[in-house]
């Protein structure tokens, strides 16, 4: 009971990361985009919850089929709700706990993309994307790693999601940004189309962005540590989850200070997140 209680607290911390993403993305973009970004972050979770409940969860955690590529979908959550809630979801926790935890991870994967396409995506188009990644993309690739799929059978280790969540979200963001192209006003070109000047598009609130980073850092202790089954394992995970972003941030501060003559606040804040992302896959396995 105690382990499962912490598991659910960790899930709640991961949910709270939605607020962090919203603050980071809003703070680092122009003020006119604030409402659009907040709405996207809200609907990432709400749309994702609907489609993940209907089909996505069973594609991820259902009985393995097709050579470890996908789980067998079912409607047990709706047709046998009480049995589903009490069932052993992954051998350690109940079906309800496992569902909630994987749901908040799914929402995180979807949210990563919104920052890369902020200020240049129709809200209706983004809603469609959010549904697709939560219904198909995340459940299928997460099944490969955490649902008994082909990567897990090969011994692939991704403890908390550097690959399953951050890399997949990052790839989707890269594809989306490539399709949309550059932001209006970002580059100045000569008559031949050659870039002659790159214009910075500063965010409207460093304070808001910093608040988002601290919220995300707090949430990451649940993100990385929720699946820990002992106090010693959890303590070790907390240590690595603290050291990695700290080293990344100090390194970036020194680099920008030497390069530009003063530390770059936004780069340092992003470095903190990069350090957290980087340590996520092996956070349970690192030692001194």
Instruction: Per residue of the chain (288 residues), give pLDDT as tens.
Output: 578 889 999 999 999 999 999 999 999 988 888 998 999 999 999 999 999 999 999 999 888 887 889 998 888 788 877 777 777 766 567 788 889 999 999 999 999 998 888 878 889 999 999 999 999 999 999 999 999 899 999 999 999 999 999 999 999 999 998 888 888 778 888 888 888 888 888 889 999 999 999 999 999 999 999 989 889 999 999 999 999 999 999 999 999 999 999 999 999 999 999 999 999 999 988 764
Predicted pLDDT at 91: 57
Please report where in the chains the tokens 């959890």 appear, as a residue.
Answer: 234
Alpha helices, DSSP H only, in 160-285? 168-180, 206-225, 231-260, 265-280
Taking the C-alpha atoms of residue 113 and residue 41, their distance in angstroms, rounded to an integer, is 10
Structure tokens at 173: 């963001």
Residue 284 and residue 179: Cα distance in Å, rounded? Answer: 37
Question: How high is the pLDDT of residue 79?
Answer: 80
Give residue 119's pLDDT. Answer: 77
CATH number belonging to domain 2-233: 1.10.3430.10
Tokens 């079906």 sit at which residue?
95
Render 61-116 in DSSP notation, one character per residue: HSPEETTTTEEPP--HHHHSHHHHHHSBSSSSSBHHHHHHHHHHHHHHHHHHHHHH
Whether the full predicted model's pTM is greater than 0.85, yes or no, is: yes
59 vs 105: CA distance, rounded Å: 15
User: Where are the domains positioned within the chain?
Assistant: 2-233
Helix axes 123-132, 34-51, angle to 10 degrees: 30
Q: For residues 123 and 144, what is the distance between their CA atoms, to the nearest angstrom?
A: 31
- H helix or E strand, kind and range, residue 197: strand 195-198
Which residue has 């997460």 as its token pair? 142
C-alpha 90/C-alpha 60 separation (Å) is 11
């Amino acid at each position: 009971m105690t382990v499962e209680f912490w598991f659910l607290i960790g899930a709640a911390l991961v949910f709270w990361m939605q607020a962090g993403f919203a603050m980071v993305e809003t703070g680092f973009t122009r003020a006119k985009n604030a409402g659009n970004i907040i709405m996207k972050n809200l609907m990432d979770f709400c749309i994702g919850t609907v489609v993940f409940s209907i089909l996505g969860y069973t594609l991820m955690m259902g009985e393995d089929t097709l050579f470890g590529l996908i789980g067998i979908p079912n409607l047990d959550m709706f047709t046998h709700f009480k049995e589903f809630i009490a069932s052993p979801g992954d051998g350690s926790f109940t079906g309800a706990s496992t569902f909630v935890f994987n749901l908040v991870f799914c929402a995180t994967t979807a949210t990563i993309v919104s920052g890369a396409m902020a200020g240049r995506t129709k809200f209706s188009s983004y809603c469609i994307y959010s549904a697709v990644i939560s219904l198909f993309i995340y459940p299928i690739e997460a099944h490969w790693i955490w649902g008994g799929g082909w990567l897990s059978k090969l011994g692939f280790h991704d403890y908390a999601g550097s690959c399953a969540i951050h890399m997949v979200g990052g790839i989707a963001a890269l594809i989306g940004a490539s399709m949309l192209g550059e932001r209006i006003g970002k580059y100045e070109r000569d008559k031949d189309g050659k870039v002659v000047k790159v214009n910075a598009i500063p965010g409207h609130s460093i304070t808001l962005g910093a608040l988002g980073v601290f919220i995300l850092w707090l949430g990451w202790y649940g993100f990385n540590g929720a699946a820990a089954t002992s106090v010693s394992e959890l303590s070790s995970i907390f240590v690595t989850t603290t050291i990695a972003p700290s080293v990344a941030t100090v390194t970036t501060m020194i680099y920008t200070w030497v390069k530009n003559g003063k530390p770059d606040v936004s780069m340092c804040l992003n470095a903190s997140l990069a350090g957290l992302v980087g340590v996520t896959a092996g956070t349970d396995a690192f030692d001194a």
